[in-house]
A and B are shown apart, each in its own frame.
Chain A
Amino acid sequence: MRTIMKKPDSLTDRITHYCPGCTHGVIHRLVAESLDELGLRERTVGIAPVGCAVLAYHYFNCDFQEAAHGRAAALATGAKRVRPDLILFTYQGDGDLASIGMAETIHACNRGEKITTIFVNNAIYGMTGGQMAPTTMPGQVTTTCPAGRDVELTGYPIRVAEILSQIRTPGYIARVAVHTPKHIIEAKRCIKQAFRYQAEGRCYSLVECLSTCPTNWGMTPIEAIDWLDRNMVPYYPLGVKRTPDQEGGAT
């Protein structure tokens, strides 16, 4: 008998705490498959964020450090600098990375730290109960913008992948989505490529993953997938924004 499908070794047997319809589980699986296929698990250290994925270390079968809010890239920098033989990845949400952790993110990218960041953008703060994020869509209702995000007061959603792709230092920056099988296949390709670049010692890598939050969006999982496709994908264009072989930044 031949095994044609199995749980990745890089995932544990724990049942996750993620809400029904949330796509964190899909992204976890893609990361785990990538680590397995590249043979990196045994020398990988993950950095957990503050946010919904704070307990990610229960689900990934590799060493882990838990960061303060927004500081994952700094932990990864510290660990990678002193142990360049390790594979470091951070797994962060949009409040963690794009709000409180923006400085650490941009500077890790600009220094060309040989780390990989999985950036989960679901346009809202999930763990704290659905507050406005820097990535919240214009007009989107959250618990701290109950009349909908007013761009006159709070600006427009931040496009992290585009900002980072302007940095001159070689890097790999991509934006993917995980709401359909087609998109999941492309997301896997990009996540695996991000880890491959790190394993080769090439460059910093970040993959922004558009993700759903049915609970805090107040939708069914199917409605959430539809909302992501209709609202987020047009505003957050998918694709590889930058590879280390391209000249980065405005010249």
Chain B
Amino acid sequence: MAKKLMKGNEAIGEAAVRAGCLNYFAYPITPQSEVAEYLSRRLPEVGGNFLQGESEVAVSYMLFGAAAAGERVFTSSSSPGISLMAEGMSYIAGAQLPVVFVNIVRGGPGLGGILPAQSDYLQATKGGGHGDYRILVFAPSGVQEAVDLTIEAFPLAEKYSNPVLVLGDGMIGQMMEPVAFPEPDSIAAPLPRPWATTGMRQRPQNLIRSLFLNPDELEYNNLHLSAKYDAMQRDEVRFESYHADGKMDLLIVAYGTMARICKTAVDLLRAEGVAAGLVRPITVYPFPMQAVYEAAQLAGQVLVVELSMGQMLEDVDHAVRGTSPIEFFGKTGGNIPPPEEIAEVARRLLGSGRPRARARGGAAGRRG
């Protein structure tokens, strides 16, 4: 399998095409407009549909219409655009349609900035739109993983008839890395969609809706959705454990781009005799609660590192359940701490003999 040097955004676009998704609706927004630019050239080559909508709001409903008509469909956007799509995502979840979203996160709130951030974690994992719904959220830490998870997102969206979100950041979207694409025969074929609105022909009416005026019908829909989320929690949790299987001095929990930097920090610390380890959630919903809990027991001290003011921190707190102190280190605004800075935070944390209330250069708070 030959590797090709590609920018993350273009690689994600190509990954969707390789996954057999030939329908893409989007609205331009930095730092992911290259996905749309790439697909505006690529999709016509393969007989696909590229459409630039008038707004992210409209795009989210074009996705609804296309998915309800039974076709594989996806979009990409960045934080402010995802906020506008959140309404549509709620309807798509309520109507149980398979749609893949990609969020190349930039800093916020508001217009924020255009540099990499991880400040949409809570929006991605705790809702975003209204109503009782959850979506499967993948958090790749590099371009190859973004490609692999984008390809996997489509069959999983179909398995659960639910949105799947690939949660990247501006770093993953903008950097170039060598990537390999899987062979076409390894790609899962679309599942049959007997529910799709494809014209009645001789069958009864198919109806795609999220309105259930009868309280028992709506509750039934909520229970059905909830059972799907339970199944995701049981079957779809993914994480990477890096030197976190044995006794540790410190457990670092980080995801995405930040986890990649923390991995190097773990190497730096280990080289000087500090037994550091890393648990990297790959699915941030469902969150690897058990893995983080067990690793925390092996370390007795946890450091959460994010490009935010502390969002995944809440899930780690929930996972650890007060059994270990938790320290947080975050950078925002597009500032990305180098591995040395993470290692220094870890050293000071361990050197102090107790959790510190504040770490240099970023936000920190004591938990646990």
Contacts and interface: CB of A to CB of B under 8 A. Distances in A.
Nearest to B205: A63
Contacts of A80: 65
A198 B298 CA distance: 66
A82 B207 contact: no
Contacts of A83: 69-71, 198
B44 to A, nearest CB: 13
Given A77-B65, A81-B23, A64 B197 contact: yes
Interface stretch (B110-118, B161-169, B208-216, B240-248): B208-216
Nearest to B25: A78
A223 interface: no
Contact of B53 (A44, A45, A57, A74): A74
Nearest to A68: B91
Contacts of A158: none
Contacts of B181: none
Contacts of B312: none
A162 interface: no
Given A64-B205, A65-B209, A82 B66 contact: yes
A81 B198 contact: no
A42 B201 contact: yes
A44 B202 CA distance: 13
Contacts of B88: 68, 71
Contacts of A62: 199-200, 205
B209 A57 contact: yes
Given A42-B201, A61-B205, A63-B200, A79 B211 contact: no
Interface string A68-103: 100100111111111100110000000000000001
Contacts of B207: 57, 63-66
Interface in A13-71: 41-45, 47-48, 54, 57, 61-68, 71
B63 A78 contact: yes
A189 interface: no
B218 interface: no
Interface residues of B, number: 40
A111 B198 CA distance: 23
A89 to B, nearest CB: 12
A103 B197 contact: no
A104 interface: yes
Nearest to A107: B54
A66 B95 contact: yes
Contact of A65 (B73, B201, B208): B208
B24 to A, nearest CB: 10
A14 to B, nearest CB: 11
B87 interface: yes
Nearest to B211: A66
B64 interface: yes
Interface string B75-101: 000000000000110010001000000
B65 A79 contact: yes
20 contacts: A42-B202, A45-B197, A45-B198, A62-B205, A65-B64, A65-B197, A65-B209, A66-B209, A66-B211, A74-B57, A74-B58, A75-B64, A78-B66, A78-B67, A79-B66, A79-B68, A79-B197, A81-B51, A83-B70, A107-B54
The 9 tightest CB contacts between A and B, nearest first, are A78-B65, A75-B65, A74-B61, A78-B62, A43-B199, A66-B209, A78-B66, A63-B197, A107-B54
